[in-house]
Amino acid sequence: MSARAFHHGNLRAEILGHARATLREAGEEGLSLRQLARDAGVSHAAPRRHFPERQDLLNALAEQGFDELTASIAEQLDRAGGDRVTAFRAVARSYIDFAIRDGALMTLMFSAKNGTAAVGVSAAADRFFAAVGTIVAAVVPSPSAPAPSGVLSDALRAQLLLASTLHGIASLLCAGRLDASQVDELIDGVGQLFGVGAQPAVK
């Protein structure tokens, strides 16, 4: 096969792979379609078949990130085998480790341009939040206090609050306003708040 045909069929995957690495090393503003084309050994216009605009590349990265994160937290729930505290801790750890490992990707995933994400990203985000909802339902006991007269059910409120808290910890970690050494204790604190506290007997 000719050198030119090498990328037939997998140029998209190769570009995405390089982009993911660049994102880790240089952040979003370090991503350049032209540079990625050079890395892949094709002309600067070749990626256009797969990513007509730069934003399309960012969307593909975000979508991939959501799917990875969704699979990761679902796997942690499965592995915990029914123990609520263990499951909660493992899921929370998984979420926050993702933010530590791929902070720039996380930022990309949650940076809706003009408040509206592309359809693919939005669908992947929906799958992610559905998974979070399932996990919260499986892990968190029904709230002790009844919900006020609002529009949200107790369950939905607990889901949104827990998701917000974990996401806040992840965001502040990415921003350098929290230290990784504080994470375990914060996760335990979140567990206590939501009634998934560590058993005193463990200590």
Which positions touch its own copies (CB under 8 A)? Answer: 27, 103, 107, 110-117, 125, 129, 145, 147-152, 157-158, 160-161, 163-169, 171-172, 174-178, 181-182, 184-186, 188-190, 192-194, 197-198, 203
DSSP 150: S
Per CB under 7 A, 27 contacts DNA: no
Distance, CA of 57 to CA of 55 (rounded, Å) = 5
Answer yes or no: are the C-beta atoms of 135 and 95 closer than 8 Å.
no
In the bound state with its own copies, the residue whose beta carbon lies nearer, of 4 and 177, is 177
CA trace torsion 124, 127, 132, 133 (10° rounding) = 140
Minimum CB separation of residue 85 from its own copies in Å reads: 13
117 contacts which partner out of its own copies, DNA, none, CB within 5 to 8 A by kind? its own copies
Q: Binds 161, which of its own copies, DNA, none (CB < 5 to 8 A, cut-off by type)?
A: its own copies
CA angle 144, 91, 94 (to 5 degrees): 145
CB of 16 closer than 8 Å to CB of 61: yes
Using the rule CB under 7 A, is 28 a contact of DNA?
no
Which of residues 31, 80, 117, 190 is near DNA by CB under 7 A?
31
Q: Where does this chain touch DNA (CB under 7 A) — which range of 26-34, 96-104, 106-114, 122-130? A: 26-34
The two tokens of residue 182 are 């504080």
Long-range contacts (CB closer than 8 Å, 24 or more residues apart) made by 175-182: 180/100
Q: Contact positions toward DNA, by CB under 7 A?
A: 4, 7-9, 11, 31-35, 37, 42-46, 48-49, 52-55
